[in-house]
């Protein structure tokens, strides 16, 4: 399976000359390409040459739940999301922001007839494209009904792409009374199931040499 890519942008600040981890959306200088994309091998080689080796943790088909595992998930599950909400991240260490929430709809069922589900988590602009994981130490085995204290399960379950907003109306009194509408997030996010990433596999293999 092809490795899922990350987006890198140009940046005016110098990258520290030491090993760093670059989260999705964190900006840095990269050699330009005709298509605007950079293959992972060229990316790793570039930073190795400038003395700033990258820490890479690739996701593959083994991280995506099987059909049986999707069915085993409970309606309410703890989930983690890694990203840069509103462009916020640990600039000193080049680390992304990790947030925790729960599923708002069942992960194994199509939400409104689409291969996605909803999470109850703070999903601000800039979070789109953030991977969502199930990372549990100890869980209830639905097949046996037993709680597995020492067991751990880690799955890549989807990618956040948006969320509903609510419009708040308020008044500002400055001699006149205009009405101001402000869109606010509802603390909910829509996540495309990770199985959809597998549909890109053949397409990516055709493009990459």
Residue of 110, 143, 124, 136 whose CA lies nearest to 189: 124
Give pLDDT tens digits for 150-188.
788 899 999 999 888 776 665 544 444 455 555 667 789
Looking at residue 82, the DSSP 8-state letter turns out to be: E
Bridge partners for 169 per DSSP? 181
Give pLDDT tens digits for 39-50.
566 777 877 888
Domains, the chain: 61-161+187-207 (2.40.10)
CA angle 41, 193, 150 (to 5 degrees): 85
> Could you tell me which residues come within 8 angstroms of residue 35 by beta carbon, excluding any fewer than 6 positions away?
none
Give pLDDT tens digits for 113-138.
999 999 999 888 778 889 999 998 88
The pLDDT-based confidence of 95 (bands split at 50, 70, 90) is confident
């Amino acid at each position: 399976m092809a490795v899922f890519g990350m987006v890198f942008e140009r940046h005016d600040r110098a990258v520290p000359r030491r090993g760093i981890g670059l989260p999705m959306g964190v900006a840095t200088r990269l050699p330009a390409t005709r298509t605007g994309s950079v293959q992972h091998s060229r990316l790793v080689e570039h930073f190795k040459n400038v003395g700033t080796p990258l820490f890479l943790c690739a996701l593959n088909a083994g991280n995506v739940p099987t059909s049986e595992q999707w069915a085993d998930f409970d309606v309410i599950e703890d989930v983690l999301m890694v990203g840069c909400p509103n462009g916020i991240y640990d600039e000193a260490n080049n680390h992304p922001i990790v947030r925790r929430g729960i599923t708002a709809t069942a992960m194994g069922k199509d939400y409104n007839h689409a291969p996605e589900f909803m999470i109850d988590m703070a999903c601000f602009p800039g979070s789109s494209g953030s991977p969502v994981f199930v990372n549990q130490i100890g869980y209830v085995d639905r097949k046996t009904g037993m709680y597995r204290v020492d067991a751990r399960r880690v799955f890549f379950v989807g990618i956040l792409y948006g969320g509903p907003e609510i419009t708040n109306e308020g008044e500002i009194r400055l001699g006149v009374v205009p009405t101001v509408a402000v869109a606010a997030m509802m603390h909910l996010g829509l996540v495309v199931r990770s199985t959809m990433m597998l549909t890109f596999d053949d397409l990516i293999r055709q493009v990459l040499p």
